[in-house]
Amino acid sequence: MRMIAYEVPADSVDDYIQIGESTAIESLRKFVISINQIFGEQYLRSPNKIDIKRLTKIAEKKGFPGTLNDINVLDRSNLFSEWAQGRAPKVNYILNGHDYDMGYYLADGIYPPYPTFVKTISAPQGNKGKHFAKMQESVRKDV
């Protein structure tokens, strides 16, 4: 899992799991194949219209209408490559009396300043700012 999550080389994990590099690579390969076979069609794909409706309804109940989810790996996400090419999923919602048709993503400070990223307030002032930061930080990890 460290090889996937942190992109560490196979020979760096042999100290704590006591297996050789080739065994670690083969185990990782079998794990990835299994995950693709079990979850590929349902989860390892771009969201469809049904997924987008479901995600935005969940987010709306939590106070963030139009939110899709948090993307942890920006440069590897199909969502963002589609968005960059002008093919972003259509998300319709009304906020403060204004109609919107593009979703947004709750993100933290590591993401670039794109208009579709709503970041937390790093040093919130007042109850309203503190409440927003608390809610944004608690919801942004929902996927």
User: What is the tens place of the pLDDT at every residue in 57-79?
Assistant: 888 888 888 776 655 555 556 66
Average pLDDT over residues 13-31: 84
If one counts the domains in the chain, the total is 2
Task: Answer yes or no: do 26 and 9 share one domain.
Answer: yes
Same domain membership, residue 59 and residue 127: yes
pLDDT on residue 113:
81
Q: For 86-113, how does the pLDDT look when each residue is reduced to its tens digit (9 = 90+)?
A: 777 778 888 889 998 877 888 887 777 8
Same domain (yes/no): 61, 126: yes
Q: How many CA atoms lie within 13 A of 118 on its CB side?
A: 19
Enclosing domain of residue 23: 2-43
Mean pLDDT of the chain: 80
| 104 or 85, higher pLDDT | 104
Please check the confidence at residue 53 and state whether its pLDDT lies above 60.
Answer: yes
pLDDT score of 104: 82
pTM of the predicted structure, to 2 decimals: 0.51
Listing DSSP states for 81-143 in one string gives HHHHTT-PPEEEEEETTEEEEE-BEEE-TTS---TTEEEPPSS--HHHHHHHHHHHHHHTT--
φ, ψ of residue 117 in degrees (nearest 5) = -100, 125
- Residue 77 CB neighbour total at 10 angstroms: 14
Tell whether 21 and 56 lie within a shared domain.
no
Shared domain check, 111 and 96: yes
**Calpha distance 85→109 (Å, rounded):** 24
Of residues 75, 80, 79, 56, the one with CA closest to residue 139: 56
Can you give the pLDDT at residue 16? 74
The answer to which of 4-18, 49-63, 120-134 has the lowest mean pLDDT is 4-18
Per-residue CA distances from 34 to 26, 30, 40, 51 (Å): 12, 6, 9, 23
pLDDT of 10 reads 82
pLDDT at 116 > cutoff 60: yes
